[in-house]
């Protein structure tokens, strides 16, 4: 396994992060334990979850909330594991129907952290991430709440997710005025088929020394060989079927290129991310132990200059970084 620093921090994390969104909904506890055991055996030490994972993510449906954290907690309770992993979770999304059961008020930050610690059966969270920007709550309030958790030893590092470039800059400027480290990482949607963050988010992360943790690195399955799987009789979800039709011409070229270089499409998609110096660790979300094994292959390959050129032709980005991408 390869390791790298989480942004400008001294924390060392594996180049692949284990995502656990499927735990409790698509992956039962037995399979989840097997996946986590296999991940730690492979050297993956970066585990990512969220308070809302494990059930329907709708504000009017509480069933299933916290299940992913609970499964991880029961796995950790077996002993000998907690100090071998960097444990990351998130808050923001609705955890109930009450007006303060969501977002980033100091009131909710405190309660959400306590609830996650209880479900995870641990006394601290290594990376506590804001799942979304909350422009209703002032940064002074958010940072005061986070600083309190750090002082109490309940949280070590703070991360963000789904922030715009200017949100990152605003957060860091306020943190600096408070002599606080601020953000160590940002989770963003980033893959070959979704490259918008190249405009402003990646430049902001580079400037502030914040690690990038891409989520959905294979585009929710789009980049995982969907055309070939369809010929084998595996039916995609209605949403994925719509995306396949939107990108069919690109997918045909992409899967042909992957076949030409002799690598699985999912492996190529991950390898493309891993070669980007801005990327700390893509989040893989295996539903089975076999899927985890496939993902590990991405650490072993290097894409040629010609392959990268063809990938840019098939999946063009926004044209570079702002403002040069759209202005002189």
> What does the alpha-carbon distance between residue 155 and residue 123 come to, in Å, rounded to a whole number?
9
pLDDT confidence of residue 57: 53
Question: Cα 134 to the chain's mean position, in Å?
Answer: 19
Which sequence spans correspond to the domains of the chain?
Answer: 3-314
- The residues annotated as belonging to the active site are 53
> What does the alpha-carbon distance between residue 307 and residue 52 come to, in Å, rounded to a whole number?
38
Q: What is the pLDDT of residues 50-104, one digit of tens each?
A: 999 997 654 444 557 899 999 999 999 999 999 999 999 999 999 999 999 999 9
As given in the structure block, the two tokens for residue 245 are 């039709």
Greater confidence (303 vs 237) lies with: 303
> What does the alpha-carbon distance between residue 175 and residue 219 come to, in Å, rounded to a whole number?
33
> What does the alpha-carbon distance between residue 156 and residue 6 come to, in Å, rounded to a whole number?
12
Is 60 exceeded by the pLDDT of residue 18? Answer: yes
As given in the structure block, the two tokens for residue 1 are 């396994």
Do residues 93 and 55 touch, judged by C-beta distance below 8 A? no
pLDDT confidence of residue 63: 57
Calculate the average pLDDT of the chain: 95
pLDDT confidence of residue 251: 97
Domain 3-314: give its CATH superfamily: NADP-dependent oxidoreductase domain (3.20.20.100)
pLDDT confidence of residue 228: 87
Interval 212-218 mean pLDDT:
98
Buried residues in 277-297 as b, exposed as e (16+ CB within 10 A) = ebbbbbbbbbbeeeebebbbe
- Confidence category of residue 229, pLDDT binned at 50, 70, 90: confident
Q: What is the pLDDT of residues 238-271, one digit of tens each?
A: 888 899 999 999 999 999 999 999 999 999 999 9
Greater confidence (26 vs 123) lies with: 123
What H or E segment, with its residue span, contains residue 254?
A: helix 248-261
């Amino acid at each position: 396994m390869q390791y790298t620093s989480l942004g400008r921090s001294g924390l060392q994390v594996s180049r692949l992060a284990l995502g656990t969104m499927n735990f409790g909904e698509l992956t039962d506890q037995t399979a989840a334990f097997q996946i986590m055991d296999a991940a730690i055996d492979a050297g993956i030490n970066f585990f990512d979850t969220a308070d809302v994972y494990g059930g329907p993510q709708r504000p009017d449906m509480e069933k299933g909330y916290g299940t992913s954290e609970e499964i991880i907690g029961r796995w950790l309770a077996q002993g000998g594991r907690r100090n071998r992993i960097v444990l990351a979770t998130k808050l923001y999304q609705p955890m109930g129907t009450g007006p303060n059961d969501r977002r980033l008020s100091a009131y909710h930050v405190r309660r959400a952290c306590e609830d996650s610690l209880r479900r995870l059966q641990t006394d601290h969270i290594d990376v506590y991430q804001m799942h979304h920007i909350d422009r209703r709550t002032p940064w002074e309030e958010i940072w005061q709440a986070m600083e309190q958790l750090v002082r109490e030893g309940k949280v070590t590092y703070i991360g963000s997710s789904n922030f715009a470039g200017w949100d990152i800059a605003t957060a860091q400027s306020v943190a600096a005025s408070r002599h606080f480290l601020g953000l160590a990482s940002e989770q963003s949607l980033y893959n070959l088929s979704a490259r918008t963050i190249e405009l402003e988010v990646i430049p902001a992360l580079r400037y502030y020394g914040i690690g990038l943790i891409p989520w959905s690195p294979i585009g929710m399955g789009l980049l995982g060989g969907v055309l070939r799987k369809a010929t084998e009789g595996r039916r995609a979800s209605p949403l994925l079927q719509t995306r396949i039709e939107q990108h069919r011409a690109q997918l045909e070229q992409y899967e042909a290129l992957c076949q030409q270089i002799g690598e699985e499409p999912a492996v190529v998609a991950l390898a493309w991310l891993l070669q980007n110096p801005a990327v700390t660790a893509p989040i893989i979300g295996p539903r089975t132990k076999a899927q985890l094994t496939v993902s590990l292959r991405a650490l072993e390959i290097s894409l040629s200059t010609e392959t990268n050129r063809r990938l840019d032709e098939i999946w063009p980005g926004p044209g570079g970084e702002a403002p040069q991408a759209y202005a002189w």
